[in-house]
Amino acid sequence: MRVVILAGGLGTRISEETSVIPKPMVEIGGQPILFHIMRIYAHYGFKDFLLPLGYKGKVIKDYFINFNPVNSDINVNLLNGCIDYHSKHTFDWEVQMVDTGLSTMTGGRVNRLRQNLENETFMLTYGDGVSDVNISELLDFHRSHGKLVTMTAVRPPARFGTMCFDGDKVTEFIEKPQTGEGWINGGFFVCEPGVFDYLCDGDATILETTPLENLAKDGQLVAYKHDGFWKCMDTLRDKNQLCSLWDENNAPWKKWK
């Protein structure tokens, strides 16, 4: 099963980084967040990736083209120019990158991959969010209900602490609790090929508006509720929080050895 990771957006809310590189290439612990997302999927055995590119897509292409030289020890024979790579890591992944336009919206990028996916079930997520969601359980849940799309629903931590009162007296203070209401779209979708029938506005299609709204109206959108860790790298503050978790060896999304 192929994994589509949306990797073409402008990332304007983290422009401190994205003026130079595309958002999925912003690094956490020395590797792009895109690579972290791929490792989440690979941990569960999903290693066939399809990346719709747009803004600064060449940076992402260069990263994978040069992956082995950069991440390996190298022996160069200066007499004949032969190069031997002694890889420190083995990643038996397939990574296909497709240019899908600079200004194409999320649904439009998916729609441009219609021919690449060959009428198959596929996974879909964003190139800026990590989670400890169990991908195998997500897929089993999707297969159990027989609908076109499963979306992972999450309840992120509140940005600020909350208080309970008895008059003016604070009876309880909770620092940044998980929100008790308001499930949101956490990405990590599983989609059937019938989803393409809902991507009808070409490159201008925004997945999160009309397509998902119509899928819900038609009873074809189901939520997989995930109460565990989820974090979107939307701002520089988010990036710094993820880096801190990684540096402290406390990154919940790191399931691999």
110: left (phi over 0), alpha (psi -120 to 50) or beta: alpha
According to DSSP, the β-strands at 129-131 and 189-191 are unpaired
Tokens of 134: 């169990």
- Domain boundaries, given as residue ranges, for the chain: 2-247
Name every residue whose Cβ is closer than 8 Å to that of residue 94 and which is 6 or more positions away in sequence: 47, 48, 49
Q: What is the pLDDT along the chain (257 residues), one digit of tens a residue?
A: 999 999 999 998 899 999 999 999 999 999 999 999 999 999 999 999 999 999 999 999 999 999 988 888 999 999 999 988 887 777 999 999 999 999 999 999 999 999 999 899 999 999 999 999 999 999 999 999 999 999 999 988 766 666 677 776 666 666 655 555 578 999 999 999 999 999 998 999 999 999 999 999 999 999 999 999 999 999 999 999 999 999 999 999 999 87
Whole-angstrom Cα Rg for the chain: 20
Tell which residue, 225, 249, 16, 251, has the closest CA to residue 130: 251
What pLDDT shows up at residue 80?
Answer: 93
Q: Is the dihedral of CA 37, 64, 44, 219 positive or negative?
A: positive
User: What is the reported pTM?
Assistant: 0.90
Q: How far apart are the first and last CA of the chain?
A: 23
The size of the chain, in residues, is 257
What pLDDT shows up at residue 178?
Answer: 57
211-214 long-range Cβ contacts below 8 angstroms, 24+ apart: 211/107, 212/149, 212/151, 212/185
What pLDDT shows up at residue 156?
Answer: 80
What pLDDT shows up at residue 30?
Answer: 95
Superfamily for 2-247?
Spore Coat Polysaccharide Biosynthesis Protein SpsA; Chain A (3.90.550.10)
Burial of 216 (0-12, 13-18, 19+ CB in 10 A): middle
Is residue 152 within 8 Å of 131, Cβ to Cβ? yes
What pLDDT shows up at residue 238?
Answer: 95
